[in-house]
Structure 1
Amino acid sequence: MPRWRQIADELERRIREGEYLPGTRVPSVVQIQEEFEVASATAQKALSGLRNRGLTYTEPGLGSFVRRE
């Protein structure tokens, strides 16, 4: 399984378990890079994966946030 997908799955788990509540910000690309020790492209792809799954939305200049259901 690609590393970006593993990261997206982990972040999804955190969302579903309530670690990241609706309306709150998820980790930034830089924070993901540091926590998972990956390149920025991998971190960005993980965030895109969450957005494509409908779990997050992005506010330009502010970051990615957990979508309210």
Structure 2
Amino acid sequence: MTELGLFLTKRSVNKAEIARRTGISKARITQLSNNTKTKLTAEELFKIALSISIKPCDLLMEVCGNIKLAE
């Protein structure tokens, strides 16, 4: 499961409702939630955040907060 998938599960978010609100297909939402090789676009992240009434920067920190710079 991806960081996005874990976040949505913790918040008990209905993926079908996200798909309806954002225009992102339910299959794509499922792929973004389950497949760690799938890349989340900035537009998708922004739309998902708006659909669950959180700030896009907060969702970005949840999803990408573990990324570090090379030393």
TM range, normalised to the smaller chain?
0.3 to 0.5
Structure (1/2) with the larger strand percentage = 1
Structure (1/2) with the larger helix percentage = 2
Query: TM-score of the superposition, structure 1-length normalised?
Result: 0.34
Larger Rg, first or second structure (1 or 2)? 2
